[in-house]
Amino acid sequence: CPPDCPGGSAPTLSAQPPSLSSTSSSTTSSSSPAAEAAAGSTGEQQHQLLDDLQYFQHHHHHDDDDDRYQQRDETSADTKMTRQQEQQDSAATKQRRGHGKGSRRRRKRLQDDPSLSRRLPQTIIIGVRKGGTRALLEMLSLNPAVVTAETELHFFNRDENFARGLEWYRQQMPPSRPDQVTVEKTPAYFTAPQVAARMAGYHAPSGGNVSALRLLLILRDPVERILSDYTQVFYNRAERGRECPPLRDFLLSRSTGRLRPDYKAVNRSLYADHMENWLRHFPRERLHVVDGDRLIREPLAELGRVERFLGLEPRISAGNFYFNATRGFFCLRDARRRRCLDDSKGRPHPRVDGALLERLRRFFREPNRRLFRLLGRTFDWP
């Protein structure tokens, strides 16, 4: 458990009772002037906030650093699971599971059924890391018209993969019928600066039409997302027997005491900055934003919106979900099996002292409002 975190406490955002009703209305647009970010703060707080923002304006463009340790620490839970699985799975296990393009069963299915083939994705879940991307992908796959790539492919963000070309990308996809939608998710896409332009040049196949690509983005309270991101780094380090400094040490500059917008977890939560880049390359109507906090509490309602956006017949129903009180999350069931997400999801977050938390909240007020304006909708972030 991360520092200051009492073991076994429930995930912070599942405090409200979950619900499967699909009646709750979506939040509608509301925009406010950027200056409101500082409204309601005391003079001293405003001073601190302006300080943080000014520093931010000068420092907020950062390339990923090349520190290998850092990169390993930053690996997402899903990518890590994939790597572990790759190391552990013998070829035989893979075949039994039907994974991998070499699987005999899958090859046979592909040969026997001429309508089945591997298709480039028409829908991509672009992020955000720790937003609930795995839950969204797994829940979406409950609709029989959806097939999903099992692992994060990192095609558009990693040069070495992008250089392998679209045919390589297509080969990573699961077999599908022409009436099905293929979905891939790589949470790192949203915040990698080169991805939007690359994806805009990619034409998804759709019954002979081009440019049918639809993007899904799942966002969550940006401060909560930072805590989740830090928790991931904490556990990645613990697995290697390394200590993890308290979150405070990552968040605050040692020399100035200011918030560090260049700390990757903070930068990833500056959704408006990344969104501006995406909207330069994609029309707003091709992007649907899922509310990650609501997906936890009311998965059915959020999934219904996604089905509508993708033009799918609504096939996901209340019977596909059951609440697991031990995990504190909804788990999934369909005709074949019941499953919860793995243990790397829903771990307790560190407790952050009140003053630092308040400072983070104030820091994100302006970027959040900017995001609401860009998207034409709001979120219930504190």
Ligand X SMILES: Nc1ncnc2c1ncn2[C@@H]1O[C@H](COP(=O)(O)OS(=O)(=O)O)[C@@H](OP(=O)(O)O)[C@H]1O
Sites of contact with ligand X (CB under 6 A):
11, 76-78, 129-135, 187, 228, 231, 295-296, 329-330, 341, 345-347
Residue closest to ligand X when measured from CB atoms: 228
Nearer to ligand X, 226 or 312 (CB): 226
Nearer to ligand X, 95 or 151 (CB): 151
Quick one: DSSP state of residue 129? T
Pairwise CA distance, residues 230 & 260, whole Å: 14
Q: Which two tokens stand for residue 221?
A: 């309270």
- The kind and range of the H/E element at 294 are helix 292-297
Nearer to ligand X, 11 or 100 (CB): 11
Nearer to ligand X, 9 or 117 (CB): 9
Residue 136 CB, nearest approach to ligand X (Å):
8
What is the distance, to the nearest Å, from the Cα of residue 17 to the centroid of all Cα atoms in its chain? 23
CB atoms closer than 10 angstroms to residue 336: 6
Nearer to ligand X, 185 or 214 (CB): 185
Contacts of 132 (CB under 8 A, 6+ apart): 218, 220, 290, 292, 295, 296
Residue 338 CB, nearest approach to ligand X (Å):
13
Residue 112 CB, nearest approach to ligand X (Å):
34
Nearer to ligand X, 132 or 222 (CB): 132
CA distances from 3 to 81, 104, 205, 227 (A): 24, 47, 48, 12
Q: Where are the beta strands (DSSP E) in 245-359?
A: 287-291, 321-324, 329-333, 338-339
Residue 271 CB, nearest approach to ligand X (Å):
14
Residue 125 CB, nearest approach to ligand X (Å):
9
Residue 151 CB, nearest approach to ligand X (Å):
11
Residue closest to 287 by CA, chosen among 350, 221, 230, 219: 219
Residue 132 CB, nearest approach to ligand X (Å):
4
Nearer to ligand X, 135 or 149 (CB): 135
By residue count, the chain amounts to: 382
Residue 254 CB, nearest approach to ligand X (Å):
26
Q: Which two tokens stand for residue 359?
A: 């400072």
Pairwise CA distance, residues 325 & 2, whole Å: 22
Nearer to ligand X, 116 or 301 (CB): 301
**What would you measure as the largest C-alpha separation in the chain, in angstroms?**
72
Contact criterion met (CB below 8 Å) for 234 and 348: no
